[in-house]
Amino acid sequence: MKTNIVLPALTQRSIANSTAKQHSPAASSSRNYGQRTATAIVYCEANFGGIDGKTANGLVRHSEKYEILSIIDSEKTGQDAGTVLDDKPNGIPIVRDLAQALEQTDNIPDYFIFGIAPATGMLSLDERALILEAIGKGMNIVNGLHEFLNDDPEFAAASFKSNVVIRDVRKPRPKKDLRVFSGRIAEVTCPRIAILGTDCAIGKRTTATVITQILVDLGIKAVMIGTGQTGLIQGARHGLALDAVPSQFCAGELEATIVEAFEEENPDVIFIEGQGSLSHPAYSTSSFIIRGSCPNGVILQHAPKRSHRCDFEQMKMPTPAAEINLIETFAETKVIGLTLNHEFMTDAEVSATITQYEQEFAIPVTDALTRSPERLVEMVLSAFPQIGGTPSITVA
């Protein structure tokens, strides 16, 4: 099923410009709000472009806080990071090691970002040594792992000696300050749309980022709630690393974060980044996201050519139909659209799959990275036409 959306020329140009920005060098730098942009090197040894390299991958595609100078991955030395990810060069080089990264800069970068998200969430001995080396050179550290470096005496002493800061992105607030679910989510009167998926590391955050930015560029006040370390590192103004919060407080912490964003921003729509998959037995975060946000609608991200769950070769991927049924049974919500992760797919296969799924599910289907953003706009406004209550956007 395809609902036509009528967009004037100015709006169509805005959409085109938004798409270009997603793959431009500027999209990999933080926005400059009048101060110098912090520079950063991202470590992603042997994982850039892969599933466990999702933090580095995300920062190359979009970062509001840091200017990414280079990516460390000796297996892809000399290549352009944008070309590796999306076949679109963005001027961010991939280098062999920290020494080569520093050779290409005039000054010591402000930050060293650990850009790998391994299943263990812990550092290897070699990685510990590398981060200590970066600290010794005067670089602040951004750490998205479950291992909190500020709690490690060796890292604490090294950072104090070099007068640098370690940012443990996943570390939750003190337990005495954690909040339980209160029901205040009902006070959020704008649509809340959760971007969920059929697996982890499948593109939920990327799709949420793309949708949010496109609507903002069209003059719609869209806000994204980050729920994982990568979104927070990229610069999400509102969010928390939900998988590090004790389960008793997960729904309440997310609810409170959404309420705060609503009160501060007065948005037209709120997008909530998903984590894991509701059907995946290894992850419970999706259930907390649904409970804490009480979404009015869900966009589901799926990788049609992925045969098994990440890190679980014995677990077959669910079908979109099964995941949609589970989501709509678990919560009082509707799946309003389906977005594709095009890994292992040709362009022709993406087109054929879009047609197939639209016929099967009677909802809009697209690929946020390879298809026109117009379809994403339609996906949201066909479900919530009140969002498009501006002279420039109408649903036909």
In a domain, 9, yes or no: no
Q: Give the tens place of pLDDT for each residue, 159-176.
A: 999 999 999 999 999 999
Model confidence at 32: pLDDT above 60: no
DSSP annotation of 163 reads T
Whole-number pLDDT of residue 140? 98
The whole-chain average pLDDT of the chain stands at 90
pLDDT in tens, 66-93: 999 999 999 999 999 999 999 999 999 9
* Per-residue pLDDT, 119: 73
Dist. CA 176–CA 183, nearest whole Å: 20
pLDDT at 35: 67
> Which of 129, 151, 168 corresponds to the end of one domain?
168
The predicted-structure confidence for 243-282, as pLDDT tens digits, reads as follows 999 999 999 999 999 999 999 999 999 999 999 999 999 9
Classify residue 7: in a domain, yes or no. no
Predicted pLDDT of residue 117 = 86
The answer as to whether 2 is a domain residue is: no
- The answer on 144 and 202 residing in a single domain is no
Specify whether 35 is located in the same domain as 154: yes
Q: Which pLDDT does position 395 carry in this prediction?
A: 46
Structural domain count, the chain: 2
Check which CATH number belongs to the domain holding 34 and give it. Answer: 3.40.50.720
> Tens digits of per-residue pLDDT, 89-139?
999 999 999 999 999 999 999 999 999 988 777 899 999 999 999 999 999
* Among 143, 168, 193, residue at a domain's last position: 168
Q: What is the CATH number of the domain that holds 385?
A: 3.40.50.300
The Cα–Cα gap between 196 and 379 comes to: 15
Encoded amino acid at 139, one letter: M
What is the pLDDT averaged over residues 42-57?
Answer: 95
pLDDT band at residue 5, thresholds of 50, 70 and 90?
low
Tell me: do 157 and 203 sit in the same domain. no
- Across the range 29-56, mean pLDDT stands at 81
pLDDT digits (tens, 9 = 90+) for 271-330: 999 999 999 999 899 999 999 999 999 999 999 999 999 889 999 999 999 999 999 999
Q: Determine the pLDDT at residue 23.
A: 40
With a CB cutoff of 8 Å and minimum separation 6, the contacts of 305 are 343, 344, 345, 349
- The answer to whether the beta carbons of residues 83 and 50 sit under 8 Å apart is no
51 and 180 co-located in one domain: no
pLDDT at res. 36: 76
Q: Is 182 inside a domain boundary?
A: yes
**142 and 41 in a common domain:** yes
Check pLDDT > 70 for residue 33. no
Sequence-ordered list of residues with C-beta below 8 angstroms from that of 29, at least 6 positions apart, any chain = 37, 63, 66, 67, 68
Q: Which of 277, 198, 199, 233 is nearest to 55 (CA)?
A: 233
How confident is the model at residue 121, as a pLDDT? 72
Q: How far is CA 108 from CA 23, 60, 63, 151, in A?
A: 26, 20, 20, 25
Same domain, 157 and 213: no
pLDDT of residue 31: 36
For residue 116, give the nearest of 132, 131, 100, 136 by alpha carbon: 131
pLDDT at 391 over 60: no
Confidence of residue 15 (pLDDT cuts 50, 70, 90): very low
Query: Percent of the chain scored above 90 by pLDDT?
Result: 85
Q: pTM (2 decimals)?
A: 0.86
Domain that holds residue 56: 24-168
Q: What average pLDDT score do residues 3-9 get?
A: 47
Same domain flag for 70 and 198: no
Question: Is residue 233 domain-shared with residue 107, that is, in the same domain?
Answer: no
Tens digits of per-residue pLDDT, 321-354? 999 999 999 999 999 999 999 999 999 999 999 9
**8 pLDDT higher than 60:** no
User: Is 268 inside a domain boundary?
Assistant: yes
* Residues 191 and 56 both lie in one domain: no
Does 5 reside within a domain? no
**Per-residue tokens: 104:** 């290409």
Q: Which of 168, 198, 225 is the last residue of a domain?
A: 168
119 and 40 together in one domain: yes
Q: Are 218 and 14 in contact (CB under 8 A)?
A: yes
The phi, psi pair for 62, rounded to 5°, reads -160, 125
In a domain, 220, yes or no: yes
Token readout for 169 is 């992105």
Question: Are 357 and 257 in a shared domain?
Answer: yes
For residues 221 and 115, state if they share a domain.
Answer: no
Domain presence at residue 4: no
